[in-house]
Structure 1
Amino acid sequence: MLATVHAPLGFLLHLADSALILGQRNAEWCGHGPVLEEDIALANISLDLIGQARLLYQHAAAVQGEGATEDTLAYFRDVRAFRNHTLAELPHHGPLAGTAAADRDYATTIVRNFLTSQFMVLRWEALARSADAQLAAIAAKSLKEVRYHLRHACDWLVKLGDGTPHSHARTQAALDHLMPYTQEFWTLSPDEAQALQDGTGDDPRALRAAWDEAIDAWLHEATLRRPAPGGHLPRGKEGLHSEHLGYLLSEMQSLARQHPGARW
């Protein structure tokens, strides 16, 4: 009998954390969407992402053992233990808006979902061939969901970018702010390198050409200018985060930490 192959724990946590944190961010629009339809759409996208995170955390908990559960992994790890992309944790506004409590900017949300969903479509396609059968199944399911997320983001990117001068300017500003954070997509963390070596992971560097082509095509349709490359290289998937993740986790984890062991 062939031995069961599992992806490295750190790689599973990277995938789970990225989905959870982006889901939490999108969920902040619940009850605050610009129109009712978008309020519902963002809530559904959040539920998809949190559902993906749950499957990945369940798998990671089984790999870790030692009494770990999806709840302990989501609610009882601190900032440095999280492995999500930095892009996922940023608030819904640019760097000049002041604090994280500033008014949300829908253009920022749409651009982030556009950049991330295009990457995850390619990543889930690759991971559907993982040597880890359970991860491959999660990837196949997640791929169907993230294709919808991408379609939603692309539709709005074009509406905003090729809309009024005001909507165009705000969308371009969001793109200028967020695009540098995508550099993290193309660097291999130690967890990703280990997963690639054992056949359970993918090589994100191999996805870059397809991502660039798709991104450029949609930006052209949206009449947006792609920012010049460069800037600080984020390292969220190595546990080095922006100041924003701590505030997000404090809110997300507060109830579970106030009542550890509670059953709902």
Structure 2
Amino acid sequence: MSDPLFEYLCRLGDNTLVLGHRVSEWCGVAPVIEEDIALANTALDLIGQTQLWLGLAGEVEGKGRDADKLAYHRDVWDFRNLLLCEQPNGDFGQTMMRQFLFDSWHVMHLKGLMASSNDQIAAIAEKSVKEVTYHVERSTDTVIGLGDGTEESHSRMQNGLNKLYPFVGEMFLSDDVDTAMADAGIAPDPASHRAGYDAHLDDVLTEATLTKPEDDFAHKGGKSGTRHTEHLGHMLTQMQWLQRAYPDATW
């Protein structure tokens, strides 16, 4: 296994990179212009956080790879993002449900990282949590509004929840990397967020008149460090096309 700190930073950066790219796919095609702008801004926030996490990962690795090289020069099996982040957009309801499920975890995790024994990680978390606090407020309001909206919007939100909830459990599983980070005081134990996350979900889903499925990924497998669906491969083909076609080109 590579340096646990490098591996961990790649996980953080890959989460925001992959989800940021997914959200950016709505640019120009969102249901209304306000959502188009809001989704684009969310994507930009996530890509900005990626620059910080993968930039620090490159420094820790010490092999001359910066954030761009880690983003564009790795292949699908080297990415460490949560499986939730790479799931296709689907309709607008599914996209916002995916965002809500991730945001609710993301803000808790960043708040935990603000107490990191690694000063650089704590600083990145402190900067990022300001953006993610807005993200979770917006996605929460949208889930409630659409869930407790029309029969059609409710149905679409429930379908999105049914499809995406199985991936939630992965966020709270631990492996050797997580254990090393927790032991060093660099990051919190993933399981420590589960109770708060479930309580938040229950409150929001009740208000949204949505029913939480019973099962999730935690009951079926492990972390996504070495397993990915075909979705990520297809997405990377689009995201990395320019760099692959014109390696290290400058303008």
TM-score of the superposition, structure 2-length normalised?
0.95
Q: Amino acid of the residue matched to residue 85 of structure 2?
A: A
Q: How many residues align?
A: 248
The residue aligned with 1:3 is none
Q: Distance in 2 between matches of 1:165 and 1:258?
A: 46
1:151 is aligned to 2:134 = no
The 1:73–1:142 alpha-carbon spacing in structure 2 relative to 1, beyond 3 Å, is same
The 1:150–1:230 alpha-carbon spacing in structure 2 relative to 1, beyond 3 Å, is closer
The residue aligned with 1:90 is 87
In structure 2, the gaps of 5 or more residues are none
The residue aligned with 1:99 is none
The 1:7–1:141 alpha-carbon spacing in structure 2 relative to 1, beyond 3 Å, is farther
- Tell me which of 208, 217, 225 is aligned to 2:211: 225
1:255 is aligned to 2:214 = no
The residue aligned with 1:190 is 176
- How far does residue 123 in structure 1 lie from its aligned partner after superposition? 0.2
- Tell me which of 96, 109, 122 is aligned to 1:123: 109
- How far does residue 233 in structure 1 lie from its aligned partner after superposition? 3.5
Q: Distance in 2 between matches of 1:251 and 1:234?
A: 28
Q: What secondary structure does 2:227 align onto? A: coil
Q: Distance in 1 between matches of 2:225 and 2:4?
A: 17
Q: What secondary structure does 1:238 align onto? A: coil
Query: Is the Cα contact below 8 Å between 2:175 and 2:223 reproduced in 1?
Result: no
Q: Amino acid of the residue matched to residue 251 of structure 1?
A: Q
Query: Is the Cα contact below 8 Å between 1:7 and 1:200 reproduced in 2?
Result: no
Q: Distance in 2 between matches of 1:130 and 1:7?
A: 15
Q: What secondary structure does 1:84 align onto? A: coil
The residue aligned with 1:181 is 167
Q: Amino acid of the residue matched to residue 242 of structure 2?
A: L
- Tell me which of 77, 80, 93 is aligned to 1:107: 93
Query: Is the Cα contact below 8 Å between 2:4 and 2:177 reproduced in 1?
Result: no
The residue aligned with 1:96 is none
- How far does residue 239 in structure 1 lie from its aligned partner after superposition? 2.5
The residue aligned with 1:100 is none
Q: Distance in 2 between matches of 1:50 and 1:230?
A: 27
Q: For 1:96-120, what per-residue CA distance to the aligned partner results, in whole angstroms no more than 9, with x for missing partners?
A: xxxxxxxxx0010110111100101
Q: Distance in 1 between matches of 2:44 and 2:220?
A: 29
The residue aligned with 2:43 is 46
Q: Distance in 2 between matches of 1:7 and 1:128?
A: 19
Query: Is the Cα contact below 8 Å between 1:111 and 1:153 reproduced in 2?
Result: yes
TM-score of the superposition, structure 1-length normalised?
0.91
The residue aligned with 1:205 is 191
The 1:233–1:53 alpha-carbon spacing in structure 2 relative to 1, beyond 3 Å, is farther
Query: Is the Cα contact below 8 Å between 1:158 and 1:222 reproduced in 2?
Result: yes
Query: Is the Cα contact below 8 Å between 2:168 and 2:216 reproduced in 1?
Result: no
Q: What secondary structure does 1:8 align onto? A: helix
The residue aligned with 1:17 is 14
Q: Distance in 2 between matches of 1:106 and 1:84?
A: 22
Q: Distance in 1 between matches of 2:176 and 2:6?
A: 12
**Considering only aligned residues, what root-mean-square deviation do their CA atoms show, in Å?**
1.4
The residue aligned with 1:97 is none
Q: What secondary structure does 1:237 align onto? A: coil
- How far does residue 260 in structure 1 lie from its aligned partner after superposition? 1.4
Q: Amino acid of the residue matched to residue 181 of structure 2?
A: A
- How far does residue 7 in structure 1 lie from its aligned partner after superposition? 7.0
Same amino acid, percent of matched pairs: 43
- How far does residue 235 in structure 1 lie from its aligned partner after superposition? 4.7
Runs in 1 of length 4+ with deviation above 3 angstroms? 230-237
In structure 1, the gaps of 5 or more residues are 1-5, 94-104
